[in-house]
Structure 1
């Protein structure tokens, strides 16, 4: 099918499929307090359940990050939707922690399969000359989908029956519709090869990329860590410290962070790659400061502001980091370098989240959050200081 004749329909439809899959990865976020009440586990367990997702993403990125270039986009995306459906079934049938762990791991597999393949598919399906708009579609689908997950689950849990079941049943229906849409969309990889020809890709970091990669990786780690902690423990903080038990509100607060990240990523075009990384670090630092104030004085307004400001800073810094690293990488090693950056970013989602969970026992949720914020603020400051001395080239 000719790219100019098919128009934007297939590109937008593939973006919608991308959003459905990513929404499933954040669907449980506002429901964790209900699971705690049902199964009687601690805040540490919540953070571990959340972090299992990141381990699934990292594993898939390390082993099969380049698989869609070999076997085709649609088979990989159908496999991702299969993992998303299996994850929803685990949550629907959950009778204990084992099912939650399995559901989160499968959710991580789905995100790992979709992250690269769906982005490439959206770009492939765009009309000729529409790469810039296709990037917008992919960005909005990714981060917008992540934001829609907690929003959908929170609204259904608050205003409909069966709060621990209905969100996943709805998602199963959306996944089924997405699979039908994928079967209608064309394959864009010419002469796809059998799965047996796939070889795991290894993360790589050429020497010439390291000066750019170091501050980019630090900023990415801190930004994703903020997202990880915000999405895993903010519902509990809202309930315990602010007496906000409305699941729709907690879901909306988390969704704001992802929507703000989308805005931050889109702002890179105006700010420029050379300035977006240091500016993103500064905005991310402001978001961390607002979150510290929210924890210290128990103010909902500061929680909301920290979600918006921190999310915008994360999006600005990460899009700048990704652009800078890709621009500095040799073409033949670019995929491996980008995979390395994503591995660092998703490590930021998992490791600090578990650390916060461990600290909640001796320090409480607020104390653990303040320690986390202090550590992340140091990392962001180091990255910003490095960038002031050795700015990223604007052409990166």
Structure 2
């Protein structure tokens, strides 16, 4: 087997393709949930619990393996992540009961938890331009998450065996990605004596105010991602009376594509401005999404998805940069892991709440309340940003006056 050059854009493309493949598998079931409900006989609450199991797997992998790629090397961890992704696809391929869905989702979560940090680090390791590499990694991550529902939606709508064929295609992609990863030489040196410690969840005292702003905005933004990947098929079929699986894929893709665009745009702005615009985008997007449900308007839902997704991408990247810039170097990894821990709580709990509320009050009421809650959280983050700005202005003025004297 001929190895690819250790560093360069060819290696970046191969690793980014593997990253996209791994993340594609995590959202593949999204447009198929209504069919699972029909075949296996469960309701919206079970659907959201199946979805939430994925986030539990991600959090567990982040806590357990957060530092492992630094000790064992990038390639072994990427191969482990792809193996778990393939195992998840196999479980879904032969799923015959609801229990299989839970098993497949937790395997998928472990895969994503391993890939999220390891693949990003590996892409940056081999890239000639580190700044551009970060954007490539973000695009691969969000692009894969968006492509999963589109691939499954198109195949599920227009090809035979809707609950089988998407996972067979995914398995083929995983095999190709595994070959690609095997061709890329290991970019970091393996530790002589690997120390596989758990990742700590902590926030240094000096950055708690920054963390609070970033975490609240990030929680709100990831709740939006959870809503569209976990509940959007039910909104489309029950509220808008459109059961086309391909349309579900397009709606979910629009959120992740807009998120990617928001991250790219935020790179050209200051962190504060990007965070402000991101929170404003979340508020505006959730107003549209909340209005789309009682109005039964697909246009309003799509518009809200794009605006909220764009705001989520801006706020997410700005918050991450603010934290990594403010944190002491030795605590940066722990702080980043804590940030992602909060984000994946955000992608889980609110969506389960929507599922539970939908059972009692219906999807329209639960969706409107969810939209209002996310908008309120984004408004709180905006208020904290304004307060921190107001506090810094007198301090800056005092220093200027002192200097004049």
| Post-superposition offset of 1:272 | 2.0
Q: Helix, strand or coil: the match of 1:270? A: coil
CA distance in 2, matches of 1:391, 1:169: 52
Render the CA deviation track for 1:345-365: whole Å, top value 9, x for unaligned: 000011111111110122101
Q: What residue number does 1:386 align with?
A: 384
Q: What residue number does 1:245 align with?
A: 243
CA distance in 2, matches of 1:374, 1:178: 41
Matches within 5 A, 1:113-128: 113-127=114-128
TM-score by length of 1: 0.96
Aligned length: 388
**What are structure 2's unaligned runs of at least 5 residues?**
393-405
Render the CA deviation track for 1:7-45: whole Å, top value 9, x for unaligned: 310011101100000000000000000000101101000
Q: What residue number does 2:296 align with?
A: 298
Q: Helix, strand or coil: the match of 1:189? A: coil
1:70 counterpart = 2:71: yes
Residue pair 2:219, 2:342 contacting (<8 A) in 1 also: yes
CA distance in 2, matches of 1:245, 1:42: 16
The higher radius of gyration belongs to 2
Q: What residue number does 1:221 align with?
A: 219
CA distance in 1, matches of 2:81, 2:389: 38
Matches within 5 A, 1:175-194: 175-193=174-192
CA distance in 2, matches of 1:213, 1:173: 41
- What is the RMSD computed on CA atoms of the aligned residues? 1.5
Residue pair 2:6, 2:184 contacting (<8 A) in 1 also: no
Q: What residue number does 1:51 align with?
A: 52
1:281 counterpart = 2:279: yes
Render the CA deviation track for 1:300-328: whole Å, top value 9, x for unaligned: 00111111101000000000010001111
**What are structure 1's unaligned runs of at least 5 residues?**
none
CA distance in 2, matches of 1:296, 1:327: 43
Residue pair 2:5, 2:11 contacting (<8 A) in 1 also: no
Greater than 4 Å deviation, 4+ residue runs? 3-6
TM-score by length of 2: 0.93
CA distance in 2, matches of 1:262, 1:348: 19
CA distance in 2, matches of 1:233, 1:139: 24
Q: What residue number does 1:109 align with?
A: 110
Matches within 5 A, 1:199-348: 199-348=197-346
Render the CA deviation track for 1:218-274: whole Å, top value 9, x for unaligned: 000011011111221111111112121111111110111001000000111222212
Q: Helix, strand or coil: the match of 1:186? A: coil
CA distance in 2, matches of 1:303, 1:255: 13
